[in-house]
Amino acid sequence: MTVTLADVAARAQVSPATVSRVLNGNYPVAAATRERVLKAVDELDYVLNGPASALAAATSDLVGILVNDIADPFFGIMAGAVQSEIGGPGGRAGGERLAVVCNTGGAPERELTYLTLLQRQRAAAVVLTGGAIEDAAHQAAMAAKLRRLAEAGTRVVLCGRPPAPETGAVALTFDNRGGGRELTDHLIGLGHRRLGYIAGPQERTTTRHRLEGHRAALAAHGIEEDARWTVHGRYDRQSGYEATLELLRRDPSLTAVVAANDSVALGACAALRDSGRRIPDDVSVAGFDDLPFSIDAVPALTTVRLPLAEAGARAGRIAMGREEAPIGGIATVRGELMVRGSCGQPRGV
């Protein structure tokens, strides 16, 4: 029913081996023969059987990309950049590779399951994006899995994620701590002394690092933090909205709200507006990531730009072996403070 290599071989009057070599182009075939084969391929509408090739050659052209939430541009941008570099159609590289984008939803077990699935497919490479989950058992399981993947020849690259020692994985880590520090430094420089902080989910490295940066800035300026000033939530708009209301209830005198990311910041802005406060006159708001929409907020968000596309592209190239891994297998990617309208001096300064 389906046409196979042998059918093509028969029609072109050559052996299956020759057809295979024409299609893979890694062995000399006389021009005339090649023509005949290509013609037969075309006439029969032949399409190689991927699984069979993969089995015989013990390689695959699948590349896995793990993301927390594909609907979030933060991940979409990185995934797109990775994909553009791994050499899928339209990419710069040669062989055609298929990107497998896996949506973990931030769930530990799904992260692991997807990795197994990718291992099962004998993926050529895997890129993991986003922060890691801070759970000892899970981290051990992940490390074991990554090690096994590496052993099986799958290149593993972490993009925007802390290093995973002894796994053979290359890490491109975002300097969340530094960015958080710089952002809060800026606010303090403007005169703020009472700053609310809307953190992400508790058990994530990204959350912790950004918060640590924030606190480091406070400490450096001798500002004693009030425990009521920190609220944890999810990395989305709604969470930002609710958290801001909570923050305001706890301490209505806050002059600034620092959000875990831009989506949260947008929610914060909405909450502030809905409660009759003006930004930045009454309360300043800061985000993180600098996603495309952040500049369209009114006022535009002051935030820390993370070079998501660049980092993703680099991760893709490293995964494909087209760029050397950084020394030590670890590189830190810094963010850049984007000063815009959503942060100003507090009243009376």
Q: Which residues bind its own copies (CB under 8 A)?
A: 2, 45, 47-55, 60, 62, 69-73, 75-77, 79-80, 83-84, 88-90, 96, 98-105, 107, 109-110, 113-114, 116-122, 148, 152, 237, 263, 266-267, 269-270, 273, 292-293, 295-298
In this structure, is the dihedral angle defined by the CA atoms of residues 79, 109, 242 and 206, taken in order, positive or negative? Answer: negative
Q: Provide the CB-side half-sphere exposure for 21 (13 A, CA).
A: 14
49 binds DNA (CB under 7 A): yes
By CB under 7 A, the count of residues binding DNA is 29
When CB distances are held under 5 to 8 angstroms depending on the partner's kind, the choice from DNA, its own copies, none that residue 26 binds is DNA
Q: How far apart are the first and last CA of the chain?
A: 80
137 binds, among its own copies, DNA, none (CB under 5 to 8 A by kind): none
CB count within 10 Å of CB 94 equals: 10
Kindly state whether residue 113 participates in binding DNA, applying the rule CB under 7 A: no
- Asked if residue 280 has a cis previous peptide bond (ω within 30° of 0), the answer is yes
The answer to whether 123 contacts DNA (rule: CB under 7 A) is no
Q: Where does residue 162 fall: left (phi above 0), alpha (psi -120 to 50 degrees), or beta otherwise?
A: beta
In whole angstroms, the minimum distance from the beta carbon of 253 to its own copies comes to 25
Burial code (b: 16+ CB inside 10 Å, e: under 16) for 151-184 equals eeebbbbbbbbbbbeebebbbbbbbbbbbbbbbb
- Stretch of 47-55, 126-134, 239-247, 323-331 contacting DNA, by CB under 7 A: 47-55
Q: Which amino acid is at 202?
A: Q
Q: Counting contacts by CB under 7 A, is residue 116 touching DNA? A: no
**Tokens describing residue 276:** 């009759």
107 binds DNA (CB under 7 A): no
Residue 195 or 297 having the CB closest to its own copies = 297
Q: Which does 76 bind (CB under 5 to 8 A by kind): DNA, its own copies, none?
A: its own copies
DSSP of 193-252: --EEEEE--TTBHHHHHHHHHHHHHHHHTTPPPPGGGEEE--SSHHHHHHHHHHHHHH-T
> Which span sits near DNA by CB under 7 A: 53-61, 92-100, 132-140, 186-194?
53-61
**DSSP structure class, residue 272:** H
Residue closer to DNA (CB basis): 10 or 216:
10
> What angle do helix axes 16-24 and 31-44 make, rounded to 10 degrees?
90
Residue 100 CB, nearest approach to DNA (Å): 20
Site residues (vs DNA, CB under 7 A): 2, 4-6, 13-18, 20-21, 23-24, 26-30, 32-33, 48-49, 52-53, 55-58
